[in-house]
Amino acid sequence: EDKVVQSPLSLVVHEGDTVTLNCSYEVTNFRSLLWYKQEKKAPTFLFMLTSSGIEKKSGRLSSILDKKELFSILNITATQTGDSAVYLCAAQNTGNQFYFGTGTSLTVIP
Amino acid sequence: KAGVTQTPRYLIKTRGQQVTLSCSPISGHRSVSWYQQTPGQGLQFLFEYFSETQRNKGNFPGRFSGRQFSNSRSEMNVSTLELGDSALYLCASSTDRPWEQYFGPGTRLTVT
């Protein structure tokens, strides 16, 4: 059965801390790994990763994929209260189906 | 450009009834996907429509169906509602870059 597992389920940190969110996947005919941020209702796209070992960066956020060990991490440095959200990862297969994890809820305390 | 819109935003139905949810994609987007989000299961893929054809289907019973119109607007129908169908239903649209899905605000369905 195709599945995506995220850890931890929730995280509370102080502003300025660095956090690492984990995502492991078992998806047949895997194509890519995606990260989304969900603040209120609609998830917003952060990154898409298709190749192992190549880091994607956007400001304080970065992500990397390991296709051998079937996992990805999302790092957020110098966290701010605006980073508080649920972070979702999803694995896309070659048939364009997306398998989402249940998310990591991040709370950043001022 | 206007974002993805979904109507209605909130809905309360009784077990056994049926419901139709609507999704208008971003202009120019031909792909619309539907997801069910619940606290325990997370986001689960229902189906994807592209140019009025169902291109992909998730693992949901036949009570869940959808369609897409020539203007790319999509509807999702759930018949014979069950309590477990209570969830946030999200639709997402995309162009030829399916990984860059743009999600709508969702329809919160409560079945009593």
Instruction: Name the CA radius of gyration of chain B, rounded.
Output: 13
Percent of the residues in chain B that have a pLDDT greater than 90, as a whole number: 80
Q: Which is more confidently placed, B42 or B6?
A: B6
Q: Which is more confidently placed, A21 or A56?
A: A21
Residue B96 reports pLDDT greater than 80: no
Residue B1 reports pLDDT greater than 70: no
Percent of the residues in chain A that have a pLDDT greater than 70, as a whole number: 100
Cβ within 8 Å, pair A96-B98 = yes
**pLDDT of A96:** 80
- Residues of A within an 8 Å Cβ radius of B: 32, 34, 36, 40-45, 48, 88, 90, 92, 95-103
Query: pLDDT per residue over B18-39, tens digit each?
Result: 999 999 999 999 999 999 999 8
**pLDDT of B35:** 95
Which of B35, B43, B55 is the mutation pick for testing A, counting most A CBs within 10 A?
B43
Q: Which is more confidently placed, A83 or B59?
A: A83
> Are B32 and B46 spatial neighbours (Cβ–Cβ below 8 Å)?
no
> Are B49 and B22 spatial neighbours (Cβ–Cβ below 8 Å)?
no
DSSP E strands in chain A: the ranges are 3-7, 10-14, 19-26, 30-38, 43-49, 56-58, 61-66, 71-76, 85-93, 98-100, 104-109
Query: pLDDT per residue over A14-55, tens digit each?
Result: 999 999 999 999 999 999 999 999 997 789 989 999 988 888
Q: Chain B: nearest CA to A68, how far in angstroms?
A: 21
Query: pLDDT per residue over B32-58, tens digit each?
Result: 999 999 987 888 999 999 999 998 888
Q: How many residues does chain A have?
A: 110
Cβ within 8 Å, pair B90-A88 = no
> Are B109 and B86 spatial neighbours (Cβ–Cβ below 8 Å)?
yes
Instruction: Name the CA radius of gyration of chain A, rounded.
Output: 13
**pLDDT of B41:** 81
Chain A residue nearest residue B97, CA to CA:
A96
**pLDDT of B56:** 86
Q: Chain B: nearest CA to A31, how far in angstroms?
A: 10
Q: How far apart are CA B65 and CA B47, in angstroms?
A: 8
- A-proximal residues of B, 16-75, CB under 8 Å: 33, 35, 40-45, 48, 55-56, 58
**B99 near A CB under 8 A:** yes
Residues of chain B found within 8 Å of residue A43, distances taken between Cβ atoms: 43, 90, 103
